[in-house]
Structure 1
Amino acid sequence: MATTLSRRTVLRSLGTAIALPMLDVMQPGRLLAASGGPSTPPIRMGFFYVPNGMHMPDWTPQSEGTSYQMPETLARLSAHRKHLNVLSGLTLDGARAHGDGGGDHARSVAAFLTGAHPRKTNGADIQNGVSVDQATATQIGAATRFASLELGLETSSQAGNCDSGYSCAYASNMSWRGPTNPMAKENDPRAVFDRLFAGQTEKETRRARSEREKHRKSILDFVEEDAKRLHAHLPIVDRRKLDEYLYSIRDIEKRIAGAEKLGITEEGVPDYPRPLGVPRELSKHSELMMDMIALAYQTDSTRILSFMFTNAGSNRSYKEIDVNEGHHELSHHGKSADKQRGIAKINRFHLDRFEYLLAKLKQIPEGEGTLLDHCMIVYGSGISDGDRHNHDNLPILLAGGGGGRIRSGRHISYKNGTPLCNLYLWMMHQMGAPASAFGDSTGQLDKLG
């Protein structure tokens, strides 16, 4: 029976490398750390962006503290109340016009993780700031296979005019490695799956994929013998964890394969532009991507990721929930009750997808708690009320326990105008990537611990 196992152990075979979840035999607590006491699982950070603001009356609690009542939209997360903080009053000054006129949607995404005010241009001379995920990855990213992951449900653009003279690079990317270097996001769940579980090199990955497709095999078929050898030397609890983990991988493979057969309407034409392998239904697409995120965190393939539900100013309709008007159009509701109901339905649809992720993270045991206990995940938008295009008092959630660093279950109201970047600066310090300042921060956000 194994007594200890390296956290970096993988199951290997032809062009395949499957990282393992956190098993008990990997727990640092089984051996005394050099400091004389047990250490804990790593902390993960994530950032989830939704466009066009929020229907704020259904979002903002009326009272502070732990006894607040969840409004209708937030109530979708009632099962995770103890793992959430609702943060009010945070502001994204970089998304304001500052004399540049229209373009709030593009600015809201470009500034969301950078805190910077992007240069207004639709040419090649884009200029933004470094995003918090990349600033953190620069310091700690070497600890994992992927320093960071950039994901979403729509593709990124690097050029073009997308919003009142702002480049599409601003509107479709929120992660920035440098002021002129947006990080394109991946929206194909199969491509993410291959990155997580295929070989270490591109050549190995192509070879493994070719063999799987040729013989219609699961990726697990290639590591079956390695898995059996490991299984025989694990304690009973870890055998169960390994079995459940491998089952989830095979289940996701089947769903991805099924998704690739979708995407055509009864009339024989695509109902929404998408690359091959992306499900037609947004709910199925998003759930597969949330599965990828959970696996990436569970295997410690990365500790840092960002996710955009759609690009800035998206006017996508949501026929799955009987909202046939475009999202952006509805956000300019002009106090129309019907349009506000439509916006609220879209808000709840996005939040349901986020709830799916939180539920998965909460079901995965890790250390003395769950994977969610070791996460810090920001969910929100760089616009508050889509009709006003305001960037203060933003709709922001902080989910997860941060490895015991976050006291959750509260609505915390800050003075309106408090920089959102204060939260990011605090998060960087918790991740072991301290900085004296970030974006337009005035200090680390208080009241979280």
Structure 2
Amino acid sequence: MMFSRRRMLQGIAASTGAAFGVPIAAERAVASPAADGAAKRIIFFMQNQGFDPKTCIPEGMKNSGSLAKVKLPEPISALEPYKERLHIINGLHGIHTSPSHSAFFGALGGYRGSDGVPPSASTIDYELSKVLPQTLLPHLCIGMDSIENMKAKPTIATLSASGAGQPIFMHSNPNHLYQMLYGGISSGNIRQQHEARSGVFSQVEKLAAMKGQSLPESDQQRYGQYVQGFKDVNGLRTRLDTVSDHLRKFAPAVDERYTKPKFETDWHDVLLDLGISALTSGITNTLTIGSGRGEIFGAWKGLGVDQQGHNLGHMDQPDNPIWIKIRQYNSRMLVRIMETLESVPEGNGSMMDNTLIVYTSNNADKQHTNGANWPVMLLGNLDGAFQSGCFTQLDGKRPINALYTSLLRAAGQNVDRFNMDEKMAKKFDDSTGPLKEVLA
């Protein structure tokens, strides 16, 4: 009986409190656009199935240089008007992550990852969420997949982690995510469902805390994590209610794409809207987007792509009309993020001035890769911390961990390595510290 109750709580926590991945400190507040320009935010956009460098490097460009007088490849042509904000990086590696179909947690963790293997340490997005200006929800993850997968598994954990064995869940059902973020300021069915779920979670938290005291000591710590999950979700709801007037300005309008999606891309689009609204409202300043949710599946029927799943990874990406559509869709999403943040004043400029977007794949350059080349695009400069408007060709001797070290440096952390001890570094990194080629 006690075992089945623990299993029940584990399942509920996985789709609610555990979706946060981390305790939400009571003192965290909504980070409204900063008057002093001190606010910073970082967005990770992870496309599955690999990121072939030929789909992002301008034709004929083999050496580092300016992007000003070159034309971007067709798959990322939507970024052409934003070249001055773009930095294309080729020649990082992730051999030590053993990606194959996907590096899973290793893509953002910079360590060995594999299907079904729990994270061995925290990931860079979580570490940044701890050091960037505090918000109500330190870190938000959204995951995009086929409509069937998103409905069957509204939360899934494959990319982000707050520590060893502590995955952070991605939200894939926009109705659930909207209710979590904006249910308290909604009306009609959304408000009724929000209040009903809130009442259940409050009761379950009390019941779980009481029943957990009777468990053997060996089980109390694990059980306590589930209880903490309910405390987190209940605490977040309460704190969001205290800033309801502020949130009303940013909540997206709910339409039939939420309740009657024609294609999975309808849900992809509204998930992106919710992620952007969480940034502009100040609910969070660290957003991770998993297109394909870090796995080997994914679908884009709304783009006219009938094929889906693993087979997409076995197609060459350059000059492939299917992958051109997918990458162009990604690029338009990146433009939507930039344009929205550009429209919100912050400090002496806009929110985009204090933002960095990191676009790459959880699977290096292609499916079944050894990770020897891991292309990355950066958009924005995080208040001048990063170079932009350029292409950088590296020699393949520095790991993705070095880029993550650079992000931490830009966020104010004086670190020389990220998730790589000296023994590992001797084998996989020929230098130390951040990438001097990317920092301004």
SS across alignment from 1:433: coil
Return the letter of the residue paired with 1:369. G
Percent identical pairs in the alignment equals 19
Distance 2:50 2:166 in 1: 26
Distance 1:48 1:369 in 2: 24
1:73 deviates by 1.3
Match of 1:289 among 260, 266, 271: 271
Alignment of 1:26-425 (within 5 A): 27-28=35-36, 40-61=37-58, 62-63=60-61, 64-66=64-66, 67=68, 68-96=70-98, 104-106=100-102, 108-118=103-113, 122=116, 126-140=118-132, 143-154=134-145, 172-197=157-182, 209-210=194-195, 246=248, 249=251, 252-255=252-255, 258-262=256-260, 279-333=261-315, 340-386=320-366, 389-425=369-405
The alpha-carbon distance between structure 1 residues 81 and 105, as it changes in their structure 2 partners (threshold 3 A), is same
The alpha-carbon distance between structure 1 residues 133 and 248, as it changes in their structure 2 partners (threshold 3 A), is closer
The alpha-carbon distance between structure 1 residues 302 and 59, as it changes in their structure 2 partners (threshold 3 A), is same
Distance 1:411 1:304 in 2: 25
Post-superposition CA distance 1:320-350 (Å, at most 9, x none): 22221225313313x6998x33223222222
1:384 deviates by 4.1
Distance 1:289 1:81 in 2: 26
Distance 1:89 1:336 in 2: 18
Q: Is the 8 A contact 1:283 1:353 kept in 2?
A: no
SS across alignment from 1:417: coil
SS across alignment from 1:177: strand
Distance 1:310 1:174 in 2: 11
Distance 1:439 1:280 in 2: 42
SS across alignment from 1:104: coil
The alpha-carbon distance between structure 1 residues 284 and 433, as it changes in their structure 2 partners (threshold 3 A), is farther
1:208 deviates by 8.7
Name structure 2 gaps, 5 residues minimum. Answer: 1-28, 147-152, 197-239, 421-428
1:387 deviates by 5.2
Post-superposition CA distance 1:170-208 (Å, at most 9, x none): x951101112111111122333334434569xxxx9779
Distance 1:336 1:92 in 2: 20
Return the letter of the residue paired with 1:321. L
Return the letter of the residue paired with 2:122. V
SS across alignment from 2:395: strand
Match of 2:407 among 404, 427, 437: 427
SS across alignment from 1:394: coil
Q: Is the 8 A contact 1:382 1:391 kept in 2?
A: no
Distance 2:364 2:167 in 1: 24
Post-superposition CA distance 1:390-437 (Å, at most 9, x none): 423323111112012223111122222321111111111222334342
Post-superposition CA distance 1:284-316 (Å, at most 9, x none): 322222222222222222222211011344344
Distance 1:407 1:337 in 2: 27
SS across alignment from 1:373: helix
Distance 1:358 1:121 in 2: 33
Distance 1:326 1:121 in 2: 19
SS across alignment from 2:158: coil
Distance 1:408 1:337 in 2: 24
Post-superposition CA distance 1:210-240 (Å, at most 9, x none): 49xxxxxxxxxx99xx96xxxxxxxxxxxxx
Distance 1:337 1:396 in 2: 16
Distance 1:247 1:86 in 2: 35
1:49 deviates by 0.5
Name structure 1 gaps, 5 residues minimum. Answer: 1-17, 29-39, 97-102, 156-167, 212-221, 228-241, 263-278
Distance 1:337 1:416 in 2: 21
Q: Is the 8 A contact 1:77 1:355 kept in 2?
A: yes
Distance 1:296 1:386 in 2: 31
Q: Is the 8 A contact 1:379 1:396 kept in 2?
A: yes
Return the letter of the residue paired with 1:293. G
Q: Is the 8 A contact 1:54 1:343 kept in 2?
A: no
- In the other structure, the counterpart of 2:434 is 444
1:351 deviates by 2.5
TM-score normalised over the length of structure 2: 0.68
Q: Is the 8 A contact 1:362 1:370 kept in 2?
A: yes
Of Structure 1 and Structure 2, the greater helix share is in 2
Q: Is the 8 A contact 2:86 2:379 kept in 1?
A: yes
SS across alignment from 1:293: helix
1:146 deviates by 1.5
Distance 1:116 1:385 in 2: 17
1:248 deviates by 5.1
